[in-house]
Amino acid sequence: MTQSPGQGQALDNLLTESRTFPPSDEFAAQANAQPALYEEAKADREAFWAKQAERLHWDTKWTQVLDWSDAPFAKWFVGGKLNVAYNCVDRHVESGHGDQVAIHWEGEPGDSRAITYGELQREVSKAANALTSLGIGAEDRVAIYMPMIPEAIFAMLACARVGAMHSVVFGGFSAEALRTRIEDSACRLVITTDGQYRRGTPAPLKPAVDEAVAGAPSVEKVIVVKRTDTEVAWMDKDVWWHELVDSQSDQHTPEAFDAEHPLFILYTSGTTGKPKGILHTSGGYLTQASYTQHHVFDLKPDTDVYWCTADIGWVTGHSYIVYGPLSNRVTQVVYEGTPNTPHEGRHWEIVQKYGVSIYYTAPTLIRTFMKWGAEIPAKFDLSSLRVLGSVGEPINPEAWIWYRENVGGGKAPIVDTWWQTETGAIMISPLPGVVSTKPGSAQRPLPGIGAKVVNDEGVEVPHGGGGYLVLDEPWPSMLRGIWGDEERYRETYWSRFAEQGFYFAGDGAKYDDDGDIWLLGRVDDVMNVSGHRISTTEVESALVSHPTVAEAAVVGASDATTGQGIVAFVILRGGAGSDAGGADAIKRLRDHVAKEIGPIAKPRQIMVVPELPKTRSGKIMRRLLRDVAENRAVGDVTTLADSSVMDLISAGLQSGKSED
C-alpha cells in the first residue's frame, strides 16, 4: 500500500476513498457552472479572466489583463479603475434592488436587524463621510478590531469607498497582537466597540485597544461602537461611532481607484517571528472573489439565503462575507455569537429561521457538531439547505458524510474548498452541478486556476502519488506581497521552487487514481515513520472513520526505533459509551487505523481527551500536542481559544497509553 522512499515519493499516499456523489439532474440543469467553463478557461486563460472581470462595474476599462513581467509581483487588469464598495452596494440599489435584504444580522443575545441594500448604501456612505472628516483617505491604513456586528462590515466598505486600506484584527486577539499589527502598518485610525458578547456574557474589548494604542504613536483617533453598554475608560483620542457617524450625510460619491490600488492588509501568523501582513489589491481580488462566490456556491441572488459562519477577522470573512457575496447581490445571514449559545442547536435554529439555502463552515465545527450528536440538527427543519461548503483545513471523509447526511438531508452537494489568506479566494473546489463530489477531496483547480502536486524536484507526481501543492500560474486575487517586506515574500512563497517559478503553498497533497487532489495538511505536520512520510491528515481521517470518534489530532513524537512514533489525541462522539476510552477500546482504535491505512500508520499511543487545543479560528495547534507527546514543558498558549485545555490534556497523559 505504501511506496518506498526510494521511489521519489514526497508523501506516502495511504488512505483510499471510493465513494462519489454525482449531482442530481435537476441540480445540474440549473447550475451556474457548466462543464464548458473548464474548456473555456483552458482555451484562453486571459480572455476567461477578462470575462469574469466584466461581471463587475468598471469606471475605466483595463488595457491589459495580466502583467507578469515583474514576477512574482503581478498586475491584473492594468489601467482599469473601479470602486470596490460601489460594486458591492450602490450598483445593486441603482439596478432597483434597494429593498432587497443584504444582511440578516443575528446578535448573540437574540437581537436582530434586517439591513437592505438601500440602508447599507446609506450606512456605508455615512461611515465614509466620517472617515473623510477625520482626514482618512487613499493610502491610509485603518485597523478594525470588532465583533461580528453590522458596523464592522460598514467600516470595511467605507474604507474601500474612500481608498483607505483596512487591517481587520480578530476580536479575540490580545492587546499585544493588536499593537504589533497597528504598528507594522502604521494605522492612523482604530475602529472598535465597548465590548462583545461571548457565550452569553458581555466581555470587554476596548481596554485591549487602549493598551495597544498606548504603544502605537501612529494612531490619531479611535472610533468606538456602543454594543454592550459596558462602562469604558475614555481617552483623548476616542469618539463614539453614534456621535460621529450618525450625524454625517448619507450621500457620498465614491471615487474610482486603480485596479492595483491596495484594498486591505490581513495579518497571518508566521511559524516564527512577527506576523506577515498579506497585501491584497482591488480589481483582481474582487474579480476572483465575485467569480468564485457565483460559481462555487451556485448563488442565485433572487432566491438564495447564504450564510458563511466565519469571522471578518479571517480572510474567509473578507472574501465570503463581505466582498464575494455583496458583489453578487446576496441576501445573507451574519451571526455574532458562538454555535452553542444559548444551546447546541443555535446554528440550526438560525438556518430554520431565515431559510438558509447555502451554508459555509469549517471542518472543526462540523466535527464539533458530530461530537454533540446527530439528534440536535434533527430537531430543526433544514430542508431549505441546497449547497454546503467546507473551508479552513482538509475535511476528513467521515465528517463530510456526516455533514451531508445530517445537515444536507443526504442530497445537498458539498463544496470542499482549498485556498489561503495569501490566495485571496477559492482556488481548488468541486463545482456543484458539474463534478461528482468525493468525501474529503477538494478535487480539482477551478477554471482559470493552475495547481498541481509535485515532488522535491518540482516534477509533477503521477496519479496515486503524493507531494507538495504548488500554483503554477498567476491568479487575479493573489497577494501582492508582504507589507513592507519584499524579501520575506520572495523567500516564504517563491524560493522553494524558484527554478520552476511555482508558488509553494506550504501544504502537502496527493492525487488519487482519478487525478483528483486531496489536501494533506501543512508539510510541517508530516511524520517520518520508519522512512515513510505520512500525513497527519490521513491518520486523523482513519481515526474519525471509527463510529466512536468525533475528532482526532495526530502528531509525530520522537521514537528511538522508528524515528517518529504516531501519537493520537481523540475526542469521542456523544453516545460513544462509558467504556469507549478503556484499554480494549483503544486497542480497537489502533487496529482500526492499521486496517484502514496499514500497520505502518498504527498509533504508538492514543489518548482520549475532552477537547483539543485550537486557535480562535479553529485550527488545531499540533505544536502543543507534540510537547505533551514528548513530555516537554508546554509552549506558548496565548493564541489558544481556551488555554485550560492543555492542563486537562497533560493531566490525562498516562491514561490512554497503550503498547503492543
Residue 650 grid cell: 497533560
Q: Is 421 annotated as contributing to ligand binding?
A: yes
Closest CA relative to residue 87, chosen from 285, 229, 241, 275: 285
Nearest to 361, CA basis, from 316, 328, 326, 319: 316
Residue 307 annotated as binding site: no
393 is in an annotated binding site: yes
Q: Is 166 among the annotated ligand-binding positions?
A: no
* Count of Cβ atoms closer than 10 Å to residue 375 Cβ: 11
200 annotated as a binding-site residue: yes
Q: Is 45 assigned a ligand-binding role in the annotation? A: no
Q: Is 288 annotated as a binding residue?
A: no
Residue 193 assigned to a binding site: no
User: Does 198 count as an annotated binding residue?
Assistant: yes
Q: Please tell me whether 522 is known to bind a ligand.
A: yes
Cβ-based neighbours of 94, under 8 Å, separated by 6 or more: none
Pairing of strands 451-454, 466-471: antiparallel
Count of Cβ atoms closer than 10 Å to residue 169 Cβ: 28
What whole-number distance in Å separates Cα of residue 633 and Cα of residue 555? Answer: 16
CA 475 to chain centre: 18
Single-letter amino acid, residue 538: E
d(CA 636, CA 634): 7
* Residue 463 is labelled as binding a ligand: no
Residue by residue, DSSP assigns 327-339 as HTT--EEEE-S-T
Residue owning grid cell 495597544: 212
Q: Residue 418 annotated as binding?
A: yes
Task: Give me the long-range contacts of 208-215 (CB less than 8 A, separation at least 24).
Answer: 208/145, 208/174, 208/175, 208/178, 209/145, 209/175, 209/178, 210/235, 211/175, 211/179, 212/175, 212/176, 212/178, 212/179, 212/182, 213/179, 213/182, 213/237, 215/179, 215/183
Picking from 327, 285, 325, 280, the residue whose alpha carbon sits closest to that of residue 305 is: 325
Query: Has 420 been labeled as part of a binding site?
Result: yes
The answer to whether the annotation marks 562 as part of a ligand binding site is no
Residue 518 marked as a ligand binder: no
Q: Is 622 assigned to a binding site?
A: no
Task: Give residues with Cβ within 8 angstroms of 4, minimum separation 6.
Answer: 531
Q: Residue 440 is which amino acid?
A: G
Q: Is 199 annotated as a binding residue?
A: yes
Grid cell at residue 534: 505520512
321 and 146 in contact (C-beta within 8 Å)? no
Element (H, E) at 68: strand 64-70
Which residues contribute to the annotated binding site? Answer: 198-201, 316, 340, 392-394, 416-421, 507, 522, 530, 533, 544, 546, 549
Which residues contribute to the annotated binding site for Mg(2+)? Answer: 544, 546, 549
Which residues contribute to the annotated binding site for CoA? Answer: 198-201, 316, 340, 530
Which residues contribute to the annotated binding site for ATP? Answer: 392-394, 416-421, 507, 522, 533
